[in-house]
Amino acid sequence: MERLDKLLASQGMLSRREVKELITKGRVTIDGTVEKHPERKVTGEEQIVVAGELLRVQHPLPLMLHKPQGVVSAARDARDKTVLELVPPEYRRKELFPAGRLDKDTTGLMILTDDGALAHEILAPKKHVPKRYRVTIDIPMTEEMVHRFAEGIELKDGRCRPAELTIESEDTGVVTLREGRYHQIKRMFGCCGAAVTGLHRLSMGALRLDDTLAPGECRPLSEEEISLLRQQHLPE
Ligand code: URA
């Protein structure tokens, strides 16, 4: 059960203020009866008519977020702003959580979802969904690094799966990982004597970050994009 005003605002068509106005002005009916109380509890199964239009309750969609710097990817944090706080009210869902982590200073593609099964498919180590990052380091990229990444770098918590490093310019490259350990890319470059100065996730599975999304913006994923996310090949 959910408050009528929250349910209506969560559908993405109207702001909280507009919803409240429509309800208090008697423009909303539930199962044929005018309802003027925004706090009335509903399940979403009722026949709700808003300003003459029958409401079709939208089921929650996973979101694509362009994570900006300085925001943490935890669901809750006492000190720092979290990625969930970036989600506009119309896309907020009670159970929304980030599917996977990025460091506070990492930018780029994040998926927020309330679908545990989808999150599992993206994150489960056995699925090997590739995650691709653009990385900038403080020293020149070398063929030796490319080779060591391909062999599998030995970290404190074990050997990494082979990773691809493609050098793009003197200090920038693209890394593809098929696992996700804590600070993995920073630690891998650390083993090569380099510090990461910029890290941006470009894609997950076959899904790329929509480059029309500014840092801090998010939008729902289409069905097609959700299926790209589950795929183990890289984006075209
Ligand atoms: N590797 C890192 O070191 N940090 C990230 O945020 C993602 C991958």
Measured distance CA(28)–CA(220) in Å, rounded: 26
Give me the residue label for tokens 């090949």.
Answer: 233
| Ligand 1, atom 4: closest residue by C-alpha | 183
Give me the mean pLDDT over the 83-101 stretch.
86
Residue 233 has pLDDT above 90, yes or no: no
Residue closest to 98 by CA, chosen among 190, 213, 223, 204: 204
Question: Is 103 marked active-site?
Answer: yes
Residues 93-100, mean pLDDT to the nearest whole number: 83
Angstrom distances, CA of residue 62 to CA of 3, 13, 91, 219: 22, 17, 9, 9
Pocket test for ligand 1, best of 110, 111, 183 (most atoms within 8 A of CB): 183
Give the model confidence (pLDDT) of 98-130 as tens digits: 998 999 999 999 999 988 888 888 888 788 889
Is it the case that residue 90 has pLDDT exceeding 80? no
Per-residue pLDDT at 59 exceeds 70: no
Residues with CB under 6 A from ligand 1: 102-103, 106, 183-186, 199
- Hey, whose CA ends up nearest to atom 7 of ligand 1? 102
70, pLDDT greater than 70:
yes
Quote the pLDDT of residue 182: 92
Give the residue-averaged pLDDT of 10-30: 89
**Burial letters 12-44, b for 16+ CB under 10 A, else e:** eebeeeebbebbeeeebbeeeeebeebebebeb
Return the percent helix, strand and coil in the chain, to nearest 5.
25, 30, 50
Residue 233 Cα, ligand 1 centroid: separation in angstroms?
A: 20
In one-letter notation, the amino acid at residue 196 is V
Residue 82 reports pLDDT greater than 80: yes
Which is higher by pLDDT, 230 or 183? Answer: 183
Q: What is the pLDDT of residue 69?
A: 97
Long-range contacts of 221-227 (CB under 8 A, 24+ apart): 221/61, 221/62, 221/63, 221/64, 221/111, 225/64, 226/62, 226/118
Return the pLDDT at 37: 96
Q: Tell me what pLDDT residue 108 has.
A: 98
Q: How far is the CA of 107 from the centre of ligand 1 (A)?
A: 10
| pLDDT at residue 124 in the model | 83
**Sorting pLDDT into bands at 50, 70 and 90, what band is 12?**
low
- Specify the DSSP class assigned to residue 26: T
Nearest in space to 101 (alpha carbons), one of 162, 175, 181, 216: 181
**Quick one: which atom of ligand 1 is closest to the CA of 106?**
6
Q: Which residue has better confidence, 170 or 95?
A: 170
Question: Which atom of ligand 1 is the closest one to the Cα of 177?
Answer: 8
Structure-token pair, residue 211:
């480059």
Closest residue by Cα to atom 3, ligand 1, is: 183
Could you read off the pLDDT of 137-195 as tens digits, one per residue? 999 999 999 999 999 999 999 999 999 999 999 999 999 999 989 999 999 999 999 99
Whether 230 has a pLDDT exceeding 90, the answer reads no
Question: What separation in Å is there between the alpha carbon of 199 and the centre of ligand 1?
Answer: 7
For 159, counting Cβ atoms within 10 Å of its Cβ (0-12 exposed, 13-18 middle, 19+ buried), the class is: exposed
Identify the burial level of 51 via C-beta atoms within 10 angstroms of its C-beta, where 0-12 means exposed, 13-18 middle and 19 or more buried: exposed
Task: Please identify which residue in the block is written with the tokens 């409401």.
Answer: 55
Higher pLDDT, 194 or 95: 194
Structure tokens of 141?
């990229």
84 or 61, greater pLDDT? 84
The reported pLDDT for the residue numbered 94 is 66
Report the residue among 102, 187, 209 best suited for mutation to probe ligand 1: largest number of ligand atoms under 8 A from its CB: 102
Q: Which ligand 1 atom sits closest to the C-alpha of 201?
A: 7
Q: Of 5, 77, 103, 157, which is the active-site residue?
A: 103
Q: Which atom of ligand 1 is nearest to the CA of 180?
A: 8
Which ligand 1 atom lies nearest to the CA of residue 186? 3
In total, the chain counts a number of residues equal to 236
Structure tokens at 41: 């509890």
Residue whose CA lies nearest to ligand 1 atom number 2: 183
Work out the average pLDDT over 200-212: 95
Mean pLDDT of 219-224: 91
